[in-house]
A and B are shown apart, each in its own frame.
Chain A
């Protein structure tokens, strides 16, 4: 099983550029989420989705958009990249009910640098 797949693994952007981080899972999980990981700060939730057509904001949503048109895919869009968005981004999924009912499965991460 592929699990949670993120692309690209590495990306360098200039300030003001836009891009989309892709996330796909093949486990038929209802819940999907995006985190960013910064040194000394752990993981912070950006956006999450409890099912196709439903998205909601997490702790640090500003500057990011998401959509959930299918169960499998949950892309994260950076509208106008800023240096403060330099980070490692992780997509995660879990069975219906969200993380409160069990394990989160993580992708391998996407390292983004904004110059």
Chain B
């Protein structure tokens, strides 16, 4: 099947920028998403980008999409300790949404 891949861990200092990367293989993806999971909770949508866009900015979040390379990134500016969580990249096609394994972001004070 198609794969969504992302690194498993990222550690940054409070106030720095975090960049979480993701690659996907399904070129027919319509939407690409970033979900956030806090401990003991379900996933919550953080942001998404339509496949015909290159960039989307939403307050501290910037999503970059390189469709040619099938590469998606999430940049969190001025990372705070409350941003510590697992971040999932996902792609959707028709009735399926495929998730990466999740990147655990640790923010050190």
Chain A contact residues, CB within 8 Å of chain B: 4, 31, 33, 35, 40-45, 48, 50, 56, 58-59, 90, 92, 98-100, 102-104, 106-109
Question: Smallest CB–CB gap between A62 and chain B, Å?
Answer: 15
Q: Which of B12-20, B54-62, B63-71, B99-107 contacts A (4 or more CB under 8 A)?
A: B99-107
Q: Cβ of A109 and Cβ of B41 under 8 Å apart?
A: yes
Main secondary structure of the interface of B (DSSP, over half): strand
- How many residues on B have C-beta within 8 angstroms of the other chain's C-beta atoms? 25
Q: Cβ of B97 and Cβ of A40 under 8 Å apart?
A: no
Question: Smallest CB–CB gap between B33 and chain A, Å?
Answer: 8
Q: Cβ of B99 and Cβ of A100 under 8 Å apart?
A: no
Q: Cβ of A109 and Cβ of B42 under 8 Å apart?
A: yes
- Contacts A106-B43, A106-B44, A109-B41 hold; do A42 and B95 have CB atoms under 8 A apart? no
Chain B contact residues, CB within 8 Å of chain A: 1, 4, 8, 30-31, 33, 40-45, 48, 88, 92-102
Among B40, B45, B48, B94, the residue within 8 A (CB) of A98 is: B94
Q: For A4, list chain B residues within 8 Å (CB).
A: 42
Q: Cβ of A100 and Cβ of B94 under 8 Å apart?
A: yes
Among B40, B41, B95, the residue within 8 A (CB) of A99 is: B95
- Contacts A99-B96, A100-B31, A100-B94 hold; do A40 and B8 have CB atoms under 8 A apart? yes
